[in-house]
Structure 1
Amino acid sequence: MKAAMEDRTPRINAVLYFYLFYLFYFSTQPKSRFAVTIAVSSRTLFNMVEERKIYEEDGVETYVKHQVEHESEPLKPGAAFPFVKALMNVNSRLRELYPDSEELFDIVLMTNNHAEVGVRLINSINHYDLTIERFCMTGGKSPVDYLKAYMTNLYLSKDAEKVTEAIEQGIAAATMFMPDTQTVLSDTQLRVAFDGDAVLFSDESEIIVKQHGLDTFFEHEKEFENKPLAQGPLKCFLEALGKLQKKFYAKNERLNCPIRTYLVTARSAASSGARVLKTLRSWGLVIDEALFLAGAPKGPLLQKIHPHIYFDDQMFHIEGAKELGTISAHVPYGIGQKYHRGKLIEKPETKE
């Protein structure tokens, strides 16, 4: 009898260990119903330029073989890496103030990689001590159709087509770009910068600029100053950030809040700024800093802010920002996609 009990002891201990782990894990992980879910692709979280080249030049089998052979070597950080680290810092602060709260950032790795590549991804995540427990590896299929099932608040990818598809499904999304130079970012405060039109707001006012010019735009904004702009693709993400900010304010931590938001817009404050601020007020949202540049380049100002991510719908603003070291994310939405530096992009005629 004693021998039989001794034989069962390891199994009992294993079951007990699993049960305790289960309780601990699910008590510390955010529930998707309450969490702010950030879905990142493997190529945004990690720098996989070399691996991508193998995939494109030699095919999927060689790519998978390479990943398996190098699975003990951690991948290098990618464009979204500092952003994810900053999200984790916010979670740590939230848990200090609200030990039982489920309102946290939940980071999901959303990738069309094959499951065999998963070991290297897991090893890399563990190497950098990242808290990413939920994976979606679709084996070559687009992961976009899974975003709603994961209750995604923001999707970040290197694939512009997938990002466009996500936005069309009503999900906040952006294509990420590595900066041309490295910048030191805050490790205690998440800083998120947004453009206004076609990002936080719809492109309704930008359409007027493009089609009728600035004078008509200024007149329009004055006339409709008290009419809120329609929401843009990233409004819901700003809303989610604001929800978490209020949890810090409730604990008298406003001045020490680990989340800071910025509006960086080409609008002029005097001629078209009031409508923007009144729109945010009508939504019940507060932006920490509103910077109206009246058409001046955004890059130098962003260089002073050091955001972990900057969202803009215009590629020339993205290019200017990343040249000066800002991690940028392009939002492919609105009429601005048909223009570059204010000029209509001419499409070649198709032959029938």
Structure 2
Amino acid sequence: MSLNSQTLTGSGQDWTTNGSSSSSSRRGPMENERMILKPSTPTRNPIPPENAITIAVSAQVLFNMEKEQQIYEQQGMEGYIQYQREHETEPFSPGPACSFVKALEAVNTQLRKLYPDSEELFDVVLMTDNDAEVGPRLNNTINHHQLFIERFCETGGNRPVADHTHLYLSSDPGKVREALAKGIAAAIMFTPEKMNEVSETQLRVAFDGDGVLFSDESERIFKKDGLEGFQEHEKTHEKDPMKHGPMKCFLEALGKLQNKLNVNGQRMDCPIRTYLVTARDDGSAGKRAMNTLSSWGLEIDEAHFLAGAPKGPKLEEIRPHIFFDDQKSHVDGAVEMGTVACHVPYGKANELSKKGVMGKETSAE
């Protein structure tokens, strides 16, 4: 197996809830769960959830709230709320998801130009466990950074995300696992110490293959029978599609919008670009990956088969807004080189770490 890389360029549930409009940190579970419709600047009509591609993002990955988290842990909810009130006009600094959310809005801008009446747009929902009294600071921060987020969902920690969500991003492993268990694409987002500059006009999304776009069936063969067993299995099943993994539905959503935006056949200039960055080689293992995507009716703009080489350098070259991988070591390597990377705790690679993070984690998210 060579260590080179090859690039192929080619072709439910409503968010509105019935909770009380009053706010108190001592409310019951159902009273503490409600939706806030927030007018952005400039104001836009909310996108109907049933037609949108819904991206749920926790406050702690959209903004940098490390200091506030420390205050919550040291002083409890009352001290946390008091601090937020006193700093209401002080915006949070951007978090790892901020550039991704801005890129989604850039795609929406292009879609609105081409299809003024279409409701097939990205709809970002801010997820937070915070008491509503913290809302004004979040509002001010969103307007300060010129983000277009019309909806907040305050769950009180009871329900992680609505069933129709296409992608859920959080720093809380327990909530991400709960979402994955419901069949929702979800990942734990990590923050690089220094983030790479990314495109302001083209959304770039990079995916690992096994355990992310595809199921982990081949990965299980590799762990059981080693490299030779894996290669023989992929050669034998080269034309057999793999089962889908947790991020397939998000790639489908991106592909649907790509087809709408690719009106002049200029694929390279499309406002959305997708990447497969996998440890597979470019032999039978790579062919099976591409055959699987083809059998689903999906395309990937670039496929990089690294044959076990580190992914960080290739991702630094691509500069995606977001990268998904089921193996924490690959996520760590990407983060070290400035890529905003997300861990998908799914499949064989994460079975041993599953215990201990299924429970609710203490967070001021």
Q: What's the TM-score once normalised by structure 2's chain length?
A: 0.83
Aligned equivalent of 1:200: 213
The answer to whether the aligner puts 1:86 opposite 2:99 as a matched pair is no
The answer to whether the aligner puts 1:163 opposite 2:173 as a matched pair is no
- Secondary structure class of the residue paired with 2:283: helix
- Secondary structure class of the residue paired with 2:54: strand
Aligned equivalent of 1:187: 200
Aligned equivalent of 2:158: 142
Query: How many positions carry a matched residue from both structures?
Result: 316
- Secondary structure class of the residue paired with 1:286: coil
The answer to whether the aligner puts 1:127 opposite 2:144 as a matched pair is yes
Using the alignment, how far apart are the partners of 2:355 and 2:175 within structure 1? 24
Give 1:338 deviation, angstroms.
4.2
Give 1:271 deviation, angstroms.
3.5
Give 1:225 deviation, angstroms.
1.1
Aligned equivalent of 1:273: 286
Using the alignment, how far apart are the partners of 1:278 and 1:331 within structure 2? 23
Shift in alpha-carbon separation, 1:339–1:217, aligned structure 2, 3 A: farther
Q: What's the TM-score once normalised by structure 1's chain length?
A: 0.86
Q: Match of 2:324, as an amino acid?
A: F
Higher helix proportion: 1
Q: Counterparts in 2 of 1:7-26, with a 5 A limit? A: none
Among 100, 104, 115, the alignment partner of 1:98 is 115
- Secondary structure class of the residue paired with 2:124: strand
Task: Write out per-residue CA displacement over residues 307-331 of structure 1, whole angstroms, 9 at most, x where no aligned residue.
Answer: 0000000000011000000000000
Using the alignment, how far apart are the partners of 2:66 and 2:355 within structure 1? 30
Give 1:25 deviation, angstroms.
6.0
Using the alignment, how far apart are the partners of 1:309 and 1:202 within structure 2? 20
Checking the alignment, whether the CA contact within 8 Å between 2:195 and 2:340 is kept in structure 1 is no
- Secondary structure class of the residue paired with 2:188: strand
Aligned equivalent of 1:59: 76
Task: Write out per-residue CA displacement over residues 243-293 of structure 1, whole angstroms, 9 at most, x where no aligned residue.
Answer: 000001235443321100000000011141111000000000000000000
The answer to whether the aligner puts 1:294 opposite 2:307 as a matched pair is yes
Checking the alignment, whether the CA contact within 8 Å between 1:110 and 1:143 is kept in structure 2 is no
Task: Write out per-residue CA displacement over residues 166-217 of structure 1, whole angstroms, 9 at most, x where no aligned residue.
Answer: 0000000000001122311110100000000000000000001111111111
Among 234, 237, 261, the alignment partner of 2:274 is 261
- Secondary structure class of the residue paired with 2:273: strand
Shift in alpha-carbon separation, 1:255–1:321, aligned structure 2, 3 A: closer
Task: Write out per-residue CA displacement over residues 287-309 of structure 1, whole angstroms, 9 at most, x where no aligned residue.
Answer: 00000000000001100000000
Task: Mark the runs of 5 or more structure 2 residues left unpaired by the alignment.
Answer: 1-38, 357-365
The answer to whether the aligner puts 1:43 opposite 2:60 as a matched pair is yes
Checking the alignment, whether the CA contact within 8 Å between 2:201 and 2:271 is kept in structure 1 is yes
Matched-pair identity in %: 58
Aligned equivalent of 1:16: none
Task: Mark the runs of 5 or more structure 1 residues left unpaired by the alignment.
Answer: 1-20, 348-352
Give 1:142 deviation, angstroms.
3.4
Q: Match of 1:254, as an amino acid?
A: R
Give 1:29 deviation, angstroms.
3.5
- Secondary structure class of the residue paired with 1:191: strand
Among 196, 209, 223, the alignment partner of 2:222 is 209
Aligned equivalent of 1:178: 191
Give 1:222 deviation, angstroms.
1.0
Shift in alpha-carbon separation, 1:253–1:52, aligned structure 2, 3 A: same
Q: Match of 1:134, as an amino acid?
A: R
Checking the alignment, whether the CA contact within 8 Å between 1:310 and 1:327 is kept in structure 2 is yes
Give 1:339 deviation, angstroms.
6.7
Using the alignment, how far apart are the partners of 2:352 and 2:293 within structure 1? 27
Larger Rg: 1
Checking the alignment, whether the CA contact within 8 Å between 2:180 and 2:186 is kept in structure 1 is yes
Checking the alignment, whether the CA contact within 8 Å between 1:192 and 1:262 is kept in structure 2 is yes
- Secondary structure class of the residue paired with 2:215: coil
Q: Match of 1:49, as an amino acid?
A: E
Checking the alignment, whether the CA contact within 8 Å between 1:37 and 1:108 is kept in structure 2 is yes
